[in-house]
Amino acid sequence: MKQVLQSLKTGKIELIDCPTPAIAPGHVLIQTAASVISAGTERMLLEFGEANLISKARQQPDKVRMVLDKIKTDGVLPTLDAVRSKLDEPLAMGYCNSGKVAELGEGVSGFAIGDRVVSNGHHAEMVSVPVNLCAKIPENVDDESAAFTVMGAIALHGIRLAQPTLGETFVVTGLGLIGLIAVQLLRAHGCRVLGIDFKPRNLELARKFGAETVDPNKDGDPVAIAMSYSRGRGVDGVIVTASSKSSDPIHQAATMCRKRGRIIMVGATGMQLSRSDFYEKELTFQVSCSYGPGRYDANYEERGQDYPLGFVRWTEQRNFEAVLDMMADGRLHVEPLISHRFPLAQAENAYEVLKRDSSSLGILLEYPQGAQESESPTAPVVRLRPQDEQDRRAPAQPVVGFIGAGNYATRVLIPAFKKVGATLRCVVSSGGVSGVHAGRKFGFQRTTTSVQDVIGDADINTVVIATRHDSHASYVCEALRAGKHVFVEKPLAISQQQLGQIQEEYAARLASSSSPPHLMVGFNRRFAPHATHIKRLLETVNEPKTFIMTVNAGDVSADHWSQDPAVGGGRIIGEGCHFVDLLRFLSGYPVVSVRAATTASAPGVASLRDKVSFTLVFSDGSVGTVHYLSSGHRSFPKERLEIFCRGRILQLDNFRRIKSFGWPGLRSRKLLKQDKGQNQCVAAFVNAVNKGGPSPISFDEMVEVTRVSLQVAEAASR
């Protein structure tokens, strides 16, 4: 299928071949009929992408502060690499889509295959969208009009926040697509409306929709006109749908409002508010969040948990339905808002119009349908390059299929496998876009959204799993069952049951083959140059050691998937396992007991179990304590290890520097950049696959580390 992407690095728009997105539970797969380019949002993205690095930084001061903190802890080179990697990720464009249901995910009700629906899907021939972000299109509403529904919901939510009543006077500042829809919706509420803009065409459309209009360049002071229009009382409310870096629209809105008037920010302007403007009139100012209640709530959007109608009357989905009803009743007209039409194949031309023609309004993309349907719009596989000599390796050498193409896979794992000469055959991503990006960047032969295209490929002998944690165990078992070598990013499992399933599958492989496939977990810290050096030093000390590991983990929001016990397993299982493994490696002995305690949360705040101290006792008498804390500051080293033994101390800071205290003949050692051992970890695994030797970490030790991590998480939750 075809999809529109933008490079954040250069701003370039590209129409690419992309595999059809996988249909997840609770999602709807839609074949697109029409989509609308958002003149405000997408023009802003074009301008951001085309800006140089300094201009990008000026637009995102918060991100700049994060970069400076990262430089302090990780060094300049890793930080620059992370910034370049982030800017290198393609952005899927668009959020206003209409089409026909092609497939329903598990658990979806209320929709049937063939239903015409709207969604916030991208500019792509096929989109997979959560069920709560879809709504059925009435029979008398055409696909082109329906594609404006999401924009209509943005305007409608802003108006709901303003709570207009029959006969009130409102101003709409900025008569773009959303502003012109807001004018019609306010008129439908029985309000008198004054529209402010500089563009003659937009002003003319607003007048056709029943508004009075003001062009500040021609008609004079908008505040004076608004006061006159409101019979000298001041307007009841202002809906700001303009896009501007200036704060003038907010000051202007405050000046023209009556006492206790309402100002709703739907667009994006400067936010330098004057206290006197708001204090004297007791004005209400509120920023409107997108389409309505449910936006950015993972439980509503991703997990399909609807809000009870009696408590939340207007959710995102119900706002979609209300806008469609207005179209069906003839009270909302969007056909006049269409200024240009382009077939999808000419999407790049459409964005040139958006960039160069400031008078453009609704730019509609039309998609092939029926007999004119594009070739294989539902193909789950896209071939990126023909097979060549690089692909014809000896059977023992790694021919790799990647399951997952997220940030860690593309920044760390894929480059590491490529560096050691593995053949990159196929990469899987659920949405398709990240797989195409990774495939083209690193030279994969093909990309797909179907895991079975990797598991079932007889030429692929090695599978790398870099997906969300809840899927690791099942993919490990599938790959082992298919006779593949497996490298799985930590954790190995997020429950004792999953761990037991892997043990059973691995035992079955041992029983059925004299040379079972290798299984490796990405416990990279033990392979770091400084960690291996410390290991050699500790082997000369034949007595128990004391380890103190401080992990300044940083705050992660409660709704992030890694905090969800059912998806990420929580941060101790998902990341804390690294430090269990590191201490297990350095001690060289099994863990015989586990104790854990977590910092109490504030009253009424749910505990995330990411401020945990746990102690491991090893069979030789060594003791390791890990302080895994999310409450620190980013400027402090993220990972610090201190080791006490025989009157000596070693200190490892962020895998960049070792300091010694009382260690004979040992000077401090410092690397030019942080090295956590990712490349060495992958190289050790690939070497084992190539030579058929033992796995770099024994299966029993990986199981032990995983089991101990699960025990720590369980102890911390008591």
Per-residue confidence at 32, pLDDT binned at 50, 70, 90?
very high
Give the residue from 427, 465, 430, 426 showing the smallest Cα distance to 449: 430
Nearest CA among 244, 243, 287 for reference residue 262:
287
For residue 372, is pLDDT > 50?
Answer: no
pLDDT higher at 389 or 677:
677
Question: Whose CA is closest to 434, among 88, 193, 42, 64?
Answer: 88
Quickly state the pLDDT bin for 513 (edges 50, 70, 90). confident
Q: Which two tokens stand for residue 157?
A: 């939510």
Q: Bigger pLDDT: 40 or 681?
A: 681
SS3 171: strand
30: domain CATH number is: 3.90.180.10
Same domain, 567 and 696: yes
- On whether the CB atoms of residues 380 and 390 are closer than 8 A, the answer is no
Confidence at residue 684, expressed as pLDDT on a 0 to 100 scale: 97
| Residue 60: domain span | 2-146+334-368
Average pLDDT for 665-670: 84
pLDDT, averaged across the chain: 91
Query: pTM for the full model?
Result: 0.88
Instruction: Check: CB of residue 626 under 8 Å from CB of residue 613.
Output: yes
What pLDDT is recorded for position 602? 58
497 and 402 in a common domain: yes
From 473, 471, 478, select the one nearest 453 (Cα to Cα): 478
- Considering the chain, what percentage of its residues have pLDDT values greater than 90? 77
Mean pLDDT of 454-477: 97
DSSP letter at 19 equals P
All residues at 6 or more sequence positions from 152 whose CB lies less than 8 Å from its CB, including other chains:
181, 185, 323, 326, 327, 332, 334
Residues 506 and 391 in one domain: yes
Question: Which pLDDT score, from 0 to 100, does residue 594 have?
Answer: 96
* Confidence label for 514 from pLDDT (cuts 50, 70 and 90): confident
Q: Check which CATH number belongs to the domain holding 678 and give it.
A: 3.30.360.10
Any idea which of 13-22, 58-67, 691-700 has the lowest mean pLDDT? 58-67
Asked, for residue 328, whether it belongs to a domain, the answer is: no
Residues 15 and 157 in one domain: no
Last residue of a domain, one of 287, 316, 349: 287
Q: Write down the pLDDT at residue 371.
A: 37
**Is 649's pLDDT higher than 90?**
yes
**Residue-level pLDDT at 390:** 53
Are 640 and 707 contained in the same domain? Answer: yes
The CATH number assigned to the domain holding 268 equals 3.40.50.720
Phi-psi region of 225 (alpha: psi -120 to 50; beta: other; left: phi over 0): alpha
Return the axis-axis angle of helices 529-538 and 577-587, rounded to nearest 10°: 40
Coil vs helix vs strand at 117: strand
Count the neighbouring beta carbons within 10 Å of the beta carbon of residue 627.
Answer: 17
pLDDT of residue 41: 85
pLDDT tens-digit series, residues 518-542: 999 999 999 999 999 999 999 999 9
Q: Are residues 267 and 363 in the same domain?
A: no
Token pair belonging to 192: 């008198």
The answer to whether residue 393 sits within a structural domain is yes
How many whole angstroms separate alpha carbon 612 and alpha carbon 628? 5
Report how far residue 650's alpha carbon sits from residue 660's, in angstroms, rounded to the nearest whole number: 5
**What SS3 class is residue 504?**
helix
Work out the average pLDDT over 369-377: 51
The pLDDT value given to residue 101 = 97
Pair 163, 265 in one domain: yes
Same domain, 10 and 44: yes
Residues in contact with 656: Cβ distance below 8 Å, sequence separation at least 6, in sequence order: 74, 75, 530, 670, 671, 673, 674, 675
How would you classify residue 155: left for phi > 0, otherwise alpha for psi between -120 and 50, otherwise beta? alpha
What pairing do the DSSP bridges indicate for beta strands 546-552 and 623-629? Answer: parallel
Which residues, other chains included, contact 455 with Cβ-Cβ below 8 Å and sequence gap of 6+? 401, 463, 478, 479, 482, 484
CA dist., res. 19 & res. 21, Å (int): 6
Specify the range with the lowest mean pLDDT, choosing from 98-102, 160-164, 396-400, 424-428.
396-400
Answer whether residue 119 is part of any domain: yes
Residues 68-93 have pLDDT tens digits of 666 665 666 666 666 666 667 889 99
Q: Is residue 411 assigned to a domain?
A: yes
Give the confidence band of 515 by pLDDT, cuts at 50, 70, 90.
confident
Residue pair 181/236 in contact (Cβ under 8 Å)? The answer is no
For the stretch 106-144, pLDDT in tens is 999 999 999 999 999 999 999 999 999 999 999 999 999
> 10: number of CA atoms within 13 Å, CB side?
5
Question: Are the C-beta atoms of residues 521 and 554 closer than 8 Å to each other?
Answer: no
Q: How far is CA 582 from CA 522, 528, 588, in A?
A: 12, 10, 10
- Looking at residue 141, its pLDDT comes to 98
Q: Which range (176-185, 255-264, 366-375, 541-550) has the least confidence? A: 366-375
Any domain includes 246: yes
The phi, psi pair for 88, rounded to 5°, reads -80, -15
| pLDDT at position 587 | 97
Same structural domain for residues 74 and 130? yes
Asked whether residue 690 falls in the same domain as residue 550, the answer is yes
According to the model, what pLDDT value does residue 373 have? 46
Q: Give the pLDDT of residue 682.
A: 98
Q: How far apart are CA 580 and CA 313, in angstroms?
A: 48
Q: Tell me, what's the pLDDT at 386?
A: 73
Q: For 336-364, how does the pLDDT look when each residue is reduced to its tens digit (9 = 90+)?
A: 999 999 999 999 999 999 988 888 899 99
Query: What was the pLDDT predicted at 67?
Result: 66
305 is a domain residue: no
Q: Which of 455, 488, 519 is the last residue of a domain?
A: 519
Q: Which of 264, 287, 310 is the last residue of a domain?
A: 287
Decide if 297 is inside a domain. Answer: no
Residue 170 in any domain: the answer is yes
Model confidence at 579, pLDDT cuts 50, 70, 90, reads very high
pLDDT at 595 over 90: yes
Work out the angle between the directed axes of helices 496-512 and 472-481 (0-180°, nearest 10).
Answer: 10
Neighbours of 33 (CB within 10 A): 22
Report the domain count for the chain. Answer: 4
Residues 515 and 538 in one domain: no
Q: In what order do the strands lie in the sheet with 546-552?
A: 591-598, 611-618, 623-629, 546-552, 639-645, 648-653, 657-661, 669-670
Residue 136 φ then ψ, to 5°: -75, 145
User: For the chain, what is the largest distance between any 2 Cα atoms, rounded to a whole number of angstroms?
Assistant: 91
How far is Cα 409 from Cα 416, in angstroms, rounded to an integer?
A: 9
Same domain, 135 and 160: no
pLDDT of residue 377: 58
Q: Establish how many alpha carbons lie within 13 A of residue 355's alpha carbon, considering only the half-sphere containing its beta carbon.
A: 15
Phi/psi region, residue 558 (left: phi>0; alpha: psi -120 to 50; beta: rest), is: alpha
Mean pLDDT computed over 33-53: 85
How far is 457 from 387, CA to CA, in rounded Å? 14
Q: In this predicted model, what pLDDT tens digit does every residue of 242-283 receive, in sequence order?
A: 988 899 999 999 999 999 999 999 999 999 888 998 999 999
